[in-house]
Amino acid sequence: MSIQRTQVAIIGAGPAGLLLGQLLHRAGIASVIVERQGGEYVLGRIRAGVLEQTTCDLLDEAGVGARLHAEGLVHGGIELAFGGARHRIDMHTLTAGKHVTVYGQTEVTRDLMEARHAEGLTTVYEASDVALHDFDGTHPCITYTHGGSAHTLHCDFIAGCDGYHGVSRASVPEGALRTFEKVYPFGWLGILADTPPVSHELIYSNHARGFALCSMRSPTRTRYYVQCPLEDKVEQWSDAAFWDELRARLDPAAAEALVTGPSIEKSIAPLRSFVAEPMRFGRLFLAGDAAHIVPPTGAKGLNLAASDVRYLSRALIEHYGDKSSAGIDHYSDACLKRVWKAVRFSWWFTSLMHKFPDTGEFGQKLQQAELDYLVHSRAASTALAENYVGMPFEAAGHPV
Ligand code: APR
Ligand code: PHB
């Protein structure tokens, strides 16, 4: 049995927990991260790969931006495919010079892990039975088992960065939490392959057979997705079947240009929107997927996690530095304002681009009309572009 103390106990070593730890360290605030899995397992999870400018800025602030700037691909537009043709949304022009950076979440996590390791900061991997105590009082702690023995970590605050299936949200007393959820009636089958990207920008395709997305990780590695029924099992999908389905859902020029190859990874993910409110209970803060999930259309998940961590790190720095609780008190409301905007955008983009089993031809006709409007109206294109590149944190002096 060991007893330790830190200022902030962070549960979960995904991007949210690691980024928070790094930002706090840079401000002289001590943290310990406790993670259920091993480091290699965490790095094995393939997630989205589009970073907003504000996320890149925060990674710079955390001192982990070097490889991101060297290897990340700067994209000033996306392509929407429908009706047999592609239409470019020039985000750079429509947002007065903004862009996104294509850089895999796995690489963000790796950079953060390496920085934490280089600074000699503590991450306890393979911790089991993590439990949270007394976060509604003034002396919270967490307990866990590691290496066969029991540990207690006393702290000032607990950051619940342990994802959708984590213990933090589950520890909040029933009745103190409201949840909002929408489950979509399909999944995404994704593959990773060492093939050159079919186009230099991402293609989001609306097709009668279902949605498809052509994304990338580098000039030689692609990440492609097709919408699939929820019941599908990944074993049912050979590489050849995947490539045939993707090709069938692209415009003729992209279908012709598509280079195929063996998959390195193949998986199916369900799509859901989920929000838990509020995001703070006394001395426990939820951040990232622990508090909210968005469907991957538009790649907002990691960016939202970074937005929470930005607010939380600033709130804790204000608490320790200025002895002010303003940031802490405002944390949940500030996060949720941005969360709901991203939830709305991800829902809208998902609804526009996918084939829904229950809306029939009427639904398809509406999608076609909206897509046609979207690519021909500067106002509608601008609304897509400014959401895609990410909302600013402040506009005219007011938090957005
Ligand atoms: N105890 C300790 N750690 C836990 C526990 C637990 N009981 N439960 C889960 N964890 C760990 C998971 O193993 C995982 O490594 O918490 C971590 C949570 O990481 P993520 O799921 O990656 O969540 P987050 O850091 O919020 O990142 C959000 O991930 O799902 C994507 O789209 C999402 O890109 C976004 C990002
Ligand atoms: C990805 O590269 O995995 C990706 C990109 C854009 C999305 C979703 C996923 O909207």
- The Å distance, Cα 45 to ligand 2 centre, comes to 14
Q: pLDDT tens-digit profile of 82-92?
A: 999 999 999 99
pLDDT of residue 320: 97
| pTM greater than 0.85 | yes
What's the chain's average pLDDT?
96
The residue annotated as part of the active site, out of 296, 311, 354, 355, is 296
Q: Is 298 in the pocket of ligand 1 (CB under 6 A)?
A: no
pLDDT tier, 396 (very low <50, low <70, confident <90, very high otherwise): low
Q: What pLDDT does residue 395 have? A: 58
> Which of 50, 22, 6 shows the shortest CA–CA distance to 113?
22
Give the contacts of 68 (CB within 8 A, at least 6 positions apart). 51, 56, 59, 101, 103, 107, 108, 111
* Coil, helix or strand at residue 146: strand
Residue 353: count other Cβ atoms within 10 Å of its Cβ: 23
- Most ligand 1 atoms within 8 A of CB, residue of 19, 36, 143 to mutate: 36
User: What pLDDT shows up at residue 398?
Assistant: 54
Q: 52: which residues sit within 8 A by CB, 6+ positions away?
A: 100, 303, 306, 389, 390
Whether the CB of 214 sits within 6 Å of ligand 1 = no
Q: 204, 224, 225, 311: which is the annotated catalytic residue?
A: 204
Peptide linkage before 15 cis (omega within 30 of 0): no
Give me the amino acid identity at 19: L
By most ligand atoms within 8 Å of CB, the mutation choice from 32, 128, 285, 289 for ligand 1 is 289
pLDDT digits (tens, 9 = 90+) for 280-335: 999 999 999 999 999 999 999 999 999 999 999 999 999 999 899 999 999 999 99
Which atom of ligand 2 lies nearest, measured to the CA of 297?
A: 10
- The helix/strand/coil state of 212 is strand
Does residue 245 surpass a pLDDT of 80?
Answer: yes
111-138 average pLDDT score: 96
How many whole angstroms separate alpha carbon 141 and alpha carbon 4? 10
Say which residue, 322 or 77, is predicted with more confidence. Answer: 77
| pLDDT(397) > 70 | no
CB 10 within 8 A of CB 32: yes
Our answer on whether the CB atom of 161 is closer than 6 Å to any ligand 1 atom is: yes
Distance CA 185, CA 136 (A): 38
Residue with CA at minimum distance from ligand 2 atom 4: 48
Q: At 64, list the tokens.
A: 């982990």
Is residue 341 annotated as a catalytic residue, yes or no?
A: no
Which of 393 and 52 is assigned the larger pLDDT?
Answer: 52
> Greater confidence, 133 or 391?
133
Q: What percent of the chain has pLDDT over 90?
A: 92
388 is catalytic: yes
For residue 7, CA distances in Å to 79, 279, 284, 323, 387 come to: 46, 19, 13, 14, 36
The DSSP output letter for 72 is: P
Atom of ligand 1 nearest to the CA of 301: 32
User: What is the mean pLDDT of the segment spanning 268-280?
Assistant: 98
Instruction: Please give the Cα distance from 50 to 300 (Å, whole number).
Output: 8
Specify the pLDDT at position 313: 98
| 300 among known catalytic residues | yes
215 Cβ closer than 6 Å to some ligand 2 atom: yes
Q: Which pLDDT band, with edges at 50, 70 and 90, does 48 fall under?
A: confident
Residue ranges and CATH numbers for the domains of the chain are 2-73+100-180+272-355 (3.50.50.60)
- Please answer whether residues 304 and 338 qualify as being in contact, where contact means their C-beta atoms are separated by less than 8 angstroms: yes
